[in-house]
């Protein structure tokens, strides 16, 4: 028990150090961008984009460490009545624009015009980005990812399915563990905390996660309680998609995007 607490304290210190250094580094990169306005040297712009890309990969790692060490019972979340259809539609518009060069088709399918759930929209956005990032990491060029939304009784069901290689049977039991990479998950670009984070976010929003193998890949379904009928939804354009929206997306997808996506960030 004492060793576990000590390890979490160490990870907390590491995460804080990463964030502190990144704050300075990102500010310096922003100043460099200003200095390069009007500079036609392609190499300089390329190196700056590579720098920014890796900065956001480190920021994503810091977020995953914080998820890993957090106590679910002490997490403060900001629940709102959110239309999941609108949230997913807005988010996927940005995701598709950023991932167009990956040659993977991402489609949204909804069986309902609205699905209102009392959740933290920023957390749900992070969860969906994790799921899409996982799928992009395993889906080859020419493959596809389907994000579907449906209602099942008093639940909204969000499913992300892909045509990737699927998950081996002997890995399924370890899928939600934080040390999945140590159990043989070989994706080199990630820390192995993606599905653990998805499960964590679903639970703090009163939801559950189910993972199934399909004939072509993997399907992950998140079930969330629906709000009472006729509950009005918040205006996501005002409350969610402000100036920090793009940063959340490019952070959430940093493990699968190429540095070219960071030229204009």
Q: In the numeric block, which tokens belong to residue 178? A: 């934080």
DSSP secondary structure letters along the chain: -HHHHHHHHHHHHHHHHHHHHHHHHHHHHHHHHHHTTT---HHHHHHHHHHHHHHHHHHHHHHHHHHHH--GGG-----EEEEHHHHHHHHHHHHHHHSGGGT-EEEEEESSS--EEEE-HHHHHHHHHHHHHHHHHHPPTT-EEEEEEEEETTEEEEEEEE-S----HHHHTTTTSTTGGGGT---TTS-S-HHHHHHHHHHHTT-EEEEEE-SSSEEEEEEEEBPPTTPPPP-HHHHTSSTTHHHHHHHHTTTTS-GGGGTT-
Q: For the chain, what is the mean pLDDT?
A: 84
Give the per-residue pLDDT at 207. Answer: 97
| pLDDT tens per residue, range 164-210 | 877 776 677 667 765 544 444 444 444 456 688 899 899 999 999 99
Q: Are 87 and 237 in contact, with CB atoms under 8 Å apart?
A: no
For the cut 50, the answer to whether the pLDDT of residue 68 exceeds it is yes
Token code pair at residue 146: 């389907």
Cβ neighbourhood burial of 33 (10 Å; 0-12, 13-18, 19+): middle
pLDDT at 236 over 80: no
Q: Please state the φ and ψ torsions of residue 78, each to the nearest 5 degrees.
A: -105, 90
* Distance separating alpha carbons of residues 7 and 10, to the nearest angstrom: 5
Q: How confident is the model at residue 130 (pLDDT cuts 50, 70, 90)?
A: very high
Q: What is the predicted pLDDT for the residue at 237? A: 63
Residue 73, pLDDT > 60, answer no
Residue 194: what pLDDT? Answer: 66
State yes or no: pLDDT of 34 exceeds 90: no
The pLDDT score that the predictor gives to residue 119 is: 97
Is 244's pLDDT higher than 80?
Answer: no
pLDDT of res. 215: 75
What pLDDT, on the 0 to 100 scale, is given for residue 30? 85
Q: Is it the case that residue 238 has pLDDT exceeding 60?
A: no
Average of per-residue pLDDT across 104-128: 96
pLDDT at 186: 42
């Amino acid at each position: 028990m004492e060793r576990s607490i000590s390890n979490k304290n160490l990870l907390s210190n590491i995460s804080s150090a990463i964030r502190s250094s990144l704050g300075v580094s990102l500010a310096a990169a922003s100043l460099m961008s200003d200095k390069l306005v009007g500079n036609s040297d392609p190499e300089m712009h390329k190196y700056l984009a590579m720098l920014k890309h890796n900065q956001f990969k480190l920021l994503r790692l810091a977020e995953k460490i914080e998820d890993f060490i957090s106590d679910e019972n002490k997490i403060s979340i900001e629940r709102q009545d959110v239309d999941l259809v609108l949230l997913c539609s807005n988010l996927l518009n940005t995701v598709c624009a950023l991932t167009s060069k990956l040659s993977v088709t991402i489609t949204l399918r909804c069986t309902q015009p609205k699905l209102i759930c009392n959740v933290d929209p920023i957390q749900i956005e992070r969860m969906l980005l994790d799921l899409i990032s996982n799928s992009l990491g395993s889906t080859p060029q020419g493959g596809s990812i389907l994000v579907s939304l449906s209602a099942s009784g008093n639940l909204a069901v969000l499913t992300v399915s892909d045509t990737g290689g699927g998950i081996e049977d002997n890995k399924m039991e370890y899928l939600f563990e934080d040390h999945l990479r140590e159990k043989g998950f070989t994706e080199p670009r990630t820390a192995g905390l993606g599905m653990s984070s998805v499960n964590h976010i679903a639970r703090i929003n009163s939801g559950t996660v189910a993972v199934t193998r399909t004939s072509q890949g993997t399907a992950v379904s998140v079930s969330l309680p629906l709000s009472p009928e006729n509950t009005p939804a918040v205006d996501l354009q005002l409350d969610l998609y402000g100036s920090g929206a793009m940063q959340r997306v490019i952070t959430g997808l940093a493990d699968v995007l190429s540095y070219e996506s960071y030229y204009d960030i």
